[in-house]
Structure formats: C-alpha cells, structure tokens
Amino acid sequence: MVLSLRRTTAAALVLAAAACGPSDTQTPPPRDDSPPPAETAAAAPAAPSAPTAEVEPDVAALLRAIGVEADADGRVVNACDKAVVPLIVAVDLGAASARAVVIPGGPEAPTCYGDGPGAVHLVTLDDGGPKLVLLHLGYIGILETETDGVRDVALGGPGFSFPVFVWDGGGYTAAGRAVADADFAAATVVP
C-alpha cells in the first residue's frame, strides 16, 4: 500500500510538471504597459468653506503654475532628469483652497531628493488661476495655527525643529520661529 501511494504521488508530480511545461519555455506574466494617470488623488478634496461646490482644478494649469509641462503620458521631468508622474493632493489651508503638486524622485529618489518625497509645490486656487505659493524639497506640515485665516506651515527635514512659514496675503513667508518634532508630528503632513 505504501508503494502504491508513492507511485501515485510520483505520477501526480510528473503530470503537474508536464502540465506546466519546461521551465525555460514558460511565458512571463503579462505586463501592464498602460500609461499612468496624469493625476493621482492621495486624499479626498478638502471640504470647501463656502456652501458652493469646489471644482477640481485643471492638471495642466497646476503644472503650468509650477513651471513644468506634462508629456502625452502625463509625466513630467524631475530634478534628476527622469520622467515621473506628478502626485496631486488636496490641501486644507483654511481660507485658501490649495493643492500640493509633488514631483517625485522616481527610481533614483534617494540620490535625487534624499529621503524626502520630492519637490513639493504648494499651489493656491483662486479666481486668477493656480498660483505657486511655496516650494520645498521635503515634507510640508500644515499646522493648526493660522495667520489671516490661512493655516501656517512648517517645512520638514532633518533635525529637531522645523521652520514655520505664515501667510502674508499672497504667499508664505518665514515667521522667524520653529516648531519641535512633536508639533510637526501632530500636523497634517503633505504628501
């Protein structure tokens, strides 16, 4: 009986191997060569402060505001001369509607941007169209404090304290103060 069980197991293994074919002729799994989307929303759009619905901004207009143009596949060229797909994230700044447009490092991220997410462009949306108000090669923390109804931001990076920038009516300027690790960790970090 043991011999019969061994023969049955051996026969099953031979049939299974034969069904798979020789290992050198197996076809690789199909590749997904479809182009990536031009916009990836990592967060739901921020709730508008007014009762009117917020209209999603034109991706091309956002990219023009930061001085780049997408190719036919929606890719842009980063600081390391690599084509990458930008990440667009809704940001709640209080009175100012905004998007963070992140140009990632791509395959060479550590040598291109260090351990940060890439070039993070903070773009406000108003009647005049998208406007670049802050650029940082690292994380941006959206703080709970506000200046003129617009939330203050801190620029993340190495160290134990992070510089704070406040709204001046048309963009962000250095506040001359910093927040500690705990305050930055409590912020909404973009991206």
| pLDDT, mean over the chain | 74
| Mean pLDDT within 20-46 | 40
Sign of CA dihedral 164, 153, 157, 67: negative
User: pLDDT grade, residue 174 (50/70/90)?
Assistant: very high
pLDDT at 133: 93
> Which of 22-36, 96-110, 133-147 is the most confident on average?
133-147
User: pLDDT grade, residue 166 (50/70/90)?
Assistant: very high
pLDDT at 56: 57
> Is the whole model's pTM more than 0.85, yes or no?
no
- Residues comprising the chain, all counted: 191
pLDDT at 58: 86
Task: For residue 42, give both structure tokens.
Answer: 């990592």
| Euclidean distance between CA atoms 114 and 133, whole angstroms | 23
DSSP string, the chain: -HHHHHHHHHHHHHHHHHHH--GGGPPPPPP--PPPPS--BSSPPPPPSSSSPPPPPPHHHHHHHTT----TTS-EE-TTS-EE--EEEEEE-BSSEEEEEEE--GGGHHHHHTTS-SEEEEEEE-TT--EEEEEESS-EEEEEEEETTEEEEEE--SSSEEEEEEE-SSSEEEEEEEEEHHHHHHSEEE-
Quick check: 32 pLDDT over 50? no
Q: Which amino acid is at 26?
A: Q
| Mean pLDDT within 71-93 | 90
Tens digits of residue pLDDT in 135-146:
998 899 999 999
